[in-house]
A and B are shown apart, each in its own frame.
Chain A
Amino acid sequence: MTTPTTRARAGSTLTPRAALTRRAVLTRRDVLTRLLAAAGGVALTACRTDTSHAASEARTSTAPVAAGGARLLPGAVSDRVLVVIELDGGNDGLSTLVPAADSRYHDLRGDLAHDPGTVIAVDDEVGLHPALARTAERGLVTVEGVGAATPDLSHFEMAGRWRQGDVDGASRFDHGFLGRLADGLASTSPLAAVSVAGAAPDLDGEMAVGAHLQGIDDLWFLSQPDWLQASAYREVLAGYGDASIEQVISLADRLAAVATDENDDDATRQMRQDGGDLGRQLVTAADLLDADLGTRIVRARLSGFDTHEGHRWRHDSLMAQIDAALDGFRRRLDAAGLADRVLIATISEFGRRVEPNDSGLDHGTASTMFVAGPGEWGEVRRLGESPSLAQLDADGNLRATVSFDRYLGALAEGWMGVDAASVLPSLAASGERPIDLAG
């Protein structure tokens, strides 16, 4: 669609988004504290009920993990959940799954190359980033060389193509890939597709409308039976006779039944303390899945991957956040008996330039995605094909070996059981098949 361009406006896209989300906001606690000054006391915590837990245990007992080498295949398809984590800004695949044994990697990357002795060895060719120890221990699938045959170097363009699930940017859709996937699930839950990273229009489909939650207690003000002002608000609203408002109230009740903001368990504390924005988002995701509200698709995002400067320390820090967040999240899923139902997959608009520009890496093309799901315990499995470091494109970038719609197709069809061609028109047009995640 467009010729690759290195137009120097890339640096401006990340800071502002972070600034937006981190802007001081009146939190629930702030509001309550201020209001309570005038209104008299009310308990801040809601009680956790055991019903959701019992329900999830009952569910998993009917969804046996296949024995032996079975991968990614447990449970009924209709119970499965997809958690998509966008590594926003363009994650460097070569620093994530490091080709530590390749001398060209060290020649080209210079000071920014990882020392072969520090990476977590996967085989005699590659190793995972040193900060991903817990993630590696729990197991994951890496998919190398994921990108587009006709790449663009604009964040905006490539992030758009990923969200649309349109690998060459030649066609236009009114809906996002995940929104079409939600359509394919034909769920009646208003929380079937949820962003935990702010409003996400790509969760809208033909029929489905995505929701977004910042926390499980987002609707706290609708579930304060002991506080006169809030309970009066709720009562009057319920009498408005409006279908959407009634659904919001009903959701608030179900969320309140599982909301906790005190007494976090160890996994939750780890996510909050060490997992950065992603950790906080995945706490909400874990709470949501625990609440059993029919959520099938969760959209999360970690920003900061646009490492034009200071790549090494910034990327190291992000990997450490991912490790803490994912490990905590998977522990929460284990504890709730949900681990067999949830597949976690990363997306990122592109990788980064092979050769550094001093301390940083400019925009690149293909990158390594990773997928963490059930049946992978203790194993790091490689899929895709390492792009050659000897045959870079004209801009000095990697040539993609896996078209990203084949990767997204695997999430849709291989995991969620929704025909990939029906949700990824560029895949339908090319006639290619999704990659086989169990392969």
Chain B
Amino acid sequence: MATTTPATPTLATRRPTRFSAAFAGRERLDRASAAHLVRRTTVTAPAEVVDALVGRSVGEALERLAEEPPPALAPDDEWGRSVTEWIGTLCDPARGLRTRLAWFWHGVFTTNADAVEQSLVAAQVEVLHTHALGNVRDLLQRFVVDGALLQYLDGDGSAAWDPNENLARELMELFTVGRGHYGEDDVRAAARALAGWRVGDGAVTFDRQAAFAAPLIFLGVQDRWDTASVVDALCDHPATPRRLGGLLWADLVGSPPDGTTLSEIGDRFADLEIEPLVRWIVGTEAFAASPRQRPRRGFEWWAAVRQAITTAGGSPQPIADDRWALDGLGQVPFHPPSVAGWAADRRWTAPGSIGARLRHLWSIDPWQAFGDGEVDLQRVLWACGLDDLAPDRRASIVDAGAMPDLEPANRSHLVWLLALSTPEFQFS
């Protein structure tokens, strides 16, 4: 699918100036633009949410989508429980932009739940949701002293006389400025400045005895550096808004920004205020021109399948029973393959991934999910969010759904499988 993105002529002709005008806020959202917006700014793109946004301005739509409280996950010691609960949150159709951004930040500010006390996961989820649309500086100040992160990156127990460099290095390389903007001396200095944190029994404490008390030279400045001032200095560095803003652009638009755009992102995001940047990105021509250009990641695709089933009135498997499926689809939240998060886009539409997706579809219990009655094609396509399906593909599904030799339940199953297997559905 990498070579034949479903930007068919039909899709292309559907985004004239009116489409861009809607995203720039000059016109009301029609159904196609509302669907595009919802696919990018929610995790599961529920059809009812699209319906509710048609006719609104993009500003109103984003405001509605941003209205949601952080989830209240209770700390839980049982292995996997908090992650499963968060997956439930991510799949909740009542959640919108804030949850979508929390999911994005989780891919940047990663933690692997296998490496931490289970009771700490819920608190990190709350940090991600609370600051998802706020300011990166606030998010990072909370995140670097989050218990789960401290355990994951060995900040827990690091002492000034024997500082662990893991957290310091990732803070610079992955969470803020990126490679090329610091040296090994800065890693060593930051490791000392970040020393002293302790995690135990679900609580984070600071041990002054283990902290570094003398001045240090960090990023060329001699000072009495500590965790908060190191994070502040990194947030003040112009490379941070460029890098993180560029990642956010790539995630919302579906492809990385060009050089000019990246410079503009750096300027606009200098204050690290997330929601204004999201609004600006959504209003750009590039965003308007990008429907179905962003591969759904393994988890997102799985969640979109569940949402389609639920929207049409069927019952997907309980989430806890479907954890194995996420493993097979290559993306389990809180289990990134490395601290750098999940791989680049091409993986999600390579034959190996598509094969796993088709296999997953055929493993779904059709009676529970798709029912045993006569198929209503219009309703299936609506529930799947496939109003923009290429006409020839749509026609072939219509034909398959009318095969006289099949029982009604099998026709329904077939139509569902075909709809969820379309190239369009693999992209958002």
Please report A residues at the B interface, Cβ cutoff 8 Å: 1-3, 5, 7, 9, 12-13, 15-17, 19-21, 23-26, 31, 34-35, 38-39, 154-157, 160, 164, 172, 174, 190, 198-199, 201-202, 204, 209-212, 214, 218-219, 221-222, 228-229, 232-233, 236-237, 239-245, 247-248, 251
* A221-B397 in contact (CB<8A): no
* A248-B354 in contact (CB<8A): yes
Given contacts A25-B363, A156-B115, A190-B352, are A12 and B3 in contact (CB under 8 A)? no
B352: nearest residue on chain A (CB-CB)?
A211
* B417-A233 in contact (CB<8A): yes
CA distance A377 to B330 in the complex (A): 39
Interface centre among A7, A13, A174, A229 (most CB of B within 10 A): A229
* A16-B173 in contact (CB<8A): no
* B410-A26 in contact (CB<8A): no
**B267 within 8 Å of A by Cβ?**
no
CA distance A243 to B423 in the complex (A): 10
> Least Cβ distance of A203 to chain B in Å?
9
Which of these binds chain A: B11-19, B132-140, B343-351? B343-351
> Which residues of A are found within 8 Å of B162, using beta-carbon distances?
3
Interface centre among B3, B154, B166, B418 (most CB of A within 10 A): B154
CA distance A17 to B324 in the complex (A): 9
> Which residues of A are found within 8 Å of B327, using beta-carbon distances?
20-21, 198-199
* A23-B422 in contact (CB<8A): no
Q: Mark B308-346, 1 if CB is under 8 A from A, else 0.
A: 000000000000010111011110000001111011101
Please report B residues at the A interface, Cβ cutoff 8 Å: 1-4, 6, 79-80, 112, 114-118, 151, 154, 156-157, 162, 164-166, 173, 298, 321, 323-325, 327-330, 337-340, 342-344, 346-347, 349-356, 358-359, 362-367, 392-393, 396-397, 399-400, 403, 405-407, 409-410, 413-414, 417-418, 421-423
CA distance A24 to B325 in the complex (A): 11
CA distance A242 to B166 in the complex (A): 43
CA distance A24 to B321 in the complex (A): 8
CA distance A273 to B350 in the complex (A): 34
Partner of B351 from A2, A3, A172, A247 at Cβ < 8 Å: A247
Beyond known contacts A12-B114, A236-B397, A236-B399: 13 more, CB 8 A cutoff: A24-B321, A26-B364, A38-B410, A209-B347, A212-B328, A219-B355, A232-B414, A233-B421, A236-B396, A239-B393, A240-B393, A242-B423, A243-B3
> Least Cβ distance of B287 to chain A in Å?
24
Given contacts A198-B328, A232-B414, are A154 and B365 in contact (CB under 8 A)? no
> Least Cβ distance of A280 to chain B in Å?
15
* B351-A248 in contact (CB<8A): yes
* A211-B1 in contact (CB<8A): no
> Which residues of A are found within 8 Å of B157, using beta-carbon distances?
5, 7
* A12-B356 in contact (CB<8A): no
* A237-B347 in contact (CB<8A): no
Given contacts A16-B80, A20-B327, A229-B414, are A212 and B406 in contact (CB under 8 A)? no
> Which residues of B are found within 8 Å of A228, using beta-carbon distances?
403, 405-406, 410
* A39-B407 in contact (CB<8A): yes
> Least Cβ distance of B273 to chain A in Å?
29
> Which residues of A are found within 8 Å of B338, using beta-carbon distances?
160, 164, 172, 201
* A38-B397 in contact (CB<8A): no
CA distance A232 to B403 in the complex (A): 9
* A212-B352 in contact (CB<8A): yes
> Which residues of A are found within 8 Å of B321, using beta-carbon distances?
23-24
A202: nearest residue on chain B (CB-CB)?
B337
User: 29 A-B residue contacts at CB 8 Å?
Assistant: A7-B151, A7-B157, A16-B79, A25-B324, A26-B363, A31-B362, A31-B363, A156-B115, A160-B338, A174-B340, A201-B342, A201-B343, A210-B352, A211-B355, A212-B352, A214-B328, A228-B410, A229-B410, A233-B417, A236-B397, A236-B400, A237-B418, A239-B396, A240-B422, A240-B423, A241-B4, A244-B1, A244-B349, A251-B351
* B118-A243 in contact (CB<8A): no
> Least Cβ distance of A296 to chain B in Å?
15
B363: nearest residue on chain A (CB-CB)?
A26
The 3 closest A-B pairs by CB, nearest first: A211-B352, A201-B337, A247-B351
B396: nearest residue on chain A (CB-CB)?
A236
* B406-A229 in contact (CB<8A): yes
> Least Cβ distance of A300 to chain B in Å?
16
> Least Cβ distance of B41 to chain A in Å?
26
> Least Cβ distance of B346 to chain A in Å?
7
B184: nearest residue on chain A (CB-CB)?
A170
Given contacts A5-B157, A209-B350, are A232 and B400 in contact (CB under 8 A)? yes
CA distance A199 to B335 in the complex (A): 12
> Least Cβ distance of B97 to chain A in Å?
28
CA distance A245 to B354 in the complex (A): 7
> Which residues of B are found within 8 Å of A218, using beta-carbon distances?
355, 359
B179: nearest residue on chain A (CB-CB)?
A172
> Which residues of B are found within 8 Å of A20, using beta-carbon distances?
323-324, 327
Partner of B421 from A25, A164, A245 at Cβ < 8 Å: A245
Given contacts A16-B79, A244-B1, are A212 and B356 in contact (CB under 8 A)? yes
CA distance A174 to B340 in the complex (A): 8
CA distance A190 to B350 in the complex (A): 9
> Which residues of B are found within 8 Å of A241, using beta-carbon distances?
4
CA distance A232 to B399 in the complex (A): 10
> Least Cβ distance of B374 to chain A in Å?
14
CA distance A74 to B95 in the complex (A): 60
B403: nearest residue on chain A (CB-CB)?
A232
* B351-A190 in contact (CB<8A): yes
* B118-A12 in contact (CB<8A): yes
* A251-B355 in contact (CB<8A): yes
> Which residues of A are found within 8 Å of B346, using beta-carbon distances?
209
CA distance A198 to B352 in the complex (A): 12
CA distance A237 to B357 in the complex (A): 13
* B173-A172 in contact (CB<8A): yes
Given contacts A12-B79, A241-B4, A243-B4, are A233 and B337 in contact (CB under 8 A)? no
B325: nearest residue on chain A (CB-CB)?
A25
Given contacts A3-B164, A221-B362, A244-B1, are A9 and B117 in contact (CB under 8 A)? yes
> Which residues of A are found within 8 Å of B359, using beta-carbon distances?
218-219, 221
> Which residues of B are found within 8 Å of A237, using beta-carbon distances?
358, 418, 421
B320: nearest residue on chain A (CB-CB)?
A23
CA distance A160 to B399 in the complex (A): 49
> Which residues of A are found within 8 Å of B349, using beta-carbon distances?
244
CA distance A229 to B361 in the complex (A): 14
Partner of B367 from A5, A24, A34, A164 at Cβ < 8 Å: A34
Interface centre among A16, A21, A237, A240 (most CB of B within 10 A): A240
> Which residues of B are found within 8 Å of A247, using beta-carbon distances?
351
> Which residues of A are found within 8 Å of B422, using beta-carbon distances?
240
> Least Cβ distance of B406 to chain A in Å?
6
> Least Cβ distance of A36 to chain B in Å?
10
